[in-house]
Amino acid sequence: MALLNTPPNTRHSTITRLSLTNSSKPGPLAEEAYSCPTISHSTVTDCTFDNLTPCSRVSHSTLKHTDLSLIQGSAKERNTKIKHSTVTSSTLVNAAYANHATISNSTVSNTASLSRANIKDSVVGRKKPGESETEIIRADIRDSNVSSSEVRRCSLASTRVERSKLRRAALKECDVEDCVILRTEFKGMKLRNGVWKNGRLVGCVEGKGEVVAVALTDSPSSSEVRATSTVCGAPKTKEEEAVQDAFWRRDSGESGNGSLSASDDGDRPPPYVP
């Protein structure tokens, strides 16, 4: 371990007690084995950087009591880029990109993009190998667990989300898996395999079985009440078919670089089972 107050690759920055480690090379390490990311116009205090290279960058950001690391030798080699962000008392592992993000008391791992996100007391990232990476864009996430999902313009509180796509949604005290939720609010619900838009169930995610939407209770003997489920493949009304056709006709309206276009109404869910 190298403890530095004036590390290399640093300009216009204030560095206090920065530890550089390289866990990919066990045993005693020579001084040259430690490498530091490029740091500019930033404040770094009581942090540990592990396996980072000069290709990783921290700019116009504040990092305090934070561990930042890359897992070397993974299938997808990458670097970390943190810009215009504040990270406090958190751990970031294989976080590819953070821009205008505020992260505190959280663990972030295997994320593709964190842009204009506020993350507090949460766990965010890919849960299992082979699953997709997590993207958080313009979202407020508190006391939640988000994995292998895409979350844009959403508010999550005390919620668990896995393998889902959320747009302009507000979820509180929910448990969500394999869903698409667009412009909809839920509180205290267990949701599985469904596609919701504007507060209505409009379809199901292909290959995931029946849709489940049940209210959660505080009773330890009965965790679910008021079940309402829809089986994929059930006949649709003409209105539901029109909604489905509209989804397919629209473009996604996204630039592909983690930013949002002027209108993101063209949210396209996964294919439905006819």
Name, in order, each residue with C-beta under 8 angstroms of 55's C-beta and a sequence gap of 6 or more: 37, 38, 79
Q: CA 45, CA 48: separation in Å to the nearest integer?
A: 9
* Residue 38: φ, ψ to 5°: -80, 120
Note the pTM of the prediction, 2 decimals: 0.76
Per-residue pLDDT tens for 159-170?
Answer: 999 999 999 999
Could you tell me what percent of the chain has a pLDDT over 70?
Answer: 69
Q: Where are the chain's structural domains? A: 1-126, 164-250+269-274
pLDDT score recorded for residue 41: 95
Per-residue pLDDT tens for 10-37?
Answer: 889 999 988 888 765 554 444 444 567 8
Per-residue pLDDT tens for 80-134?
Answer: 999 999 999 999 999 999 999 999 999 999 999 999 999 999 999 987 777 888 9
Q: What is the CATH number of domain 1-126?
A: 2.160.10
Per-residue pLDDT tens for 231-250?
Answer: 444 444 555 555 445 544 44
